[in-house]
Amino acid sequence: MRGRNFKIRLLIGVAIVAFAFLRKCSQQEENPYTGRTQTITLSPEQEIAIGLQSAPQMAQQHGGLHPNTQYQALVDNVGNKLVNNSIARKTPYKYEFHLLNDPRTINAFALPGGQIFITHALFSKLQNEDQLAGVLGHEIGHVLGKHSNERISEANFWKTLSMGASVGADMGSFVNSIGQNTLLKNGRDDELESDDLGVLFMIKAGYNPKEMIGVMKILKEAAGPNRVPEFQSTHPDPENRIEKIEEAIDKYRNH
């Protein structure tokens, strides 16, 4: 009887795993802006809606918007210049740039659909407009690369796979750990793709792409000596990023 139950569980588990893979195959599509094949489940309209819905909460977590209208105008001008001079202009996304009042967290991030944020802590460390263009160009790259969309889709795939493995052979936690590592790895690849796109956007808009290397040095300094090892982090080591940025500069300058 126990053997029969195990067989039934195994069959159900295999069916769930097969369903996860079939569904993932049906969700593969080529990103029209990067040419990369991704697992995508959200439409551009859904991405925009998620971004607009989450934006106020994200701002609130970082002390709201910065009150200095001149600083905000600079962020808007640089962001819009990058969008208007690149393929980003041809996307359905609604790009909006927000300077956050957070004086401590050195960060910039993008929500799906075009909501882009930079904290005052990072903004105040930047030495020139080109470095600001490097930060914002990188974040536009995340939107255009559909990275949040892909992460959501991949996470759902691993959740279903983990459920199938749990039902079939009590291997859910093992599959889950593989999934976590894969999502971390994908996160690092996203960062490198965004750096690459950021360099391209900077060149198209007339900014000096070498200033993105200065941004990496600021981030490295901010992380300090207690930085987590690269394989445990969703962001690549700034040293590795500098190398790839230099390669991207050569690639696009000689294009």
Q: For 111-128, what is each residue's pLDDT tens digit?
A: 889 999 999 999 999 999
pLDDT for the residue numbered 43: 86
Predicted confidence (pLDDT) at residue 234 exceeds the cutoff of 70: no
* 202 or 178, higher pLDDT: 202
Q: For the whole prediction, is pTM greater than 0.95?
A: no
DSSP 8-state assignment for residue 55: H
Q: What is the pLDDT of residues 210-227, one digit of tens each?
A: 999 999 988 888 766 655
Closest C-alpha among 72, 61, 191 to residue 123: 72
Q: Where are the beta strands (DSSP E) in the chain?
A: 28-30, 37-39, 96-100, 108-110, 115-119
pLDDT for the residue numbered 230: 42
Instruction: Burial-class residue 196 by CB neighbours within 10 Å (0-12, 13-18, 19+).
Output: buried
H helices within 85-128, ranges in order? 120-123
For residue 97, what are the β-bridge partners?
116
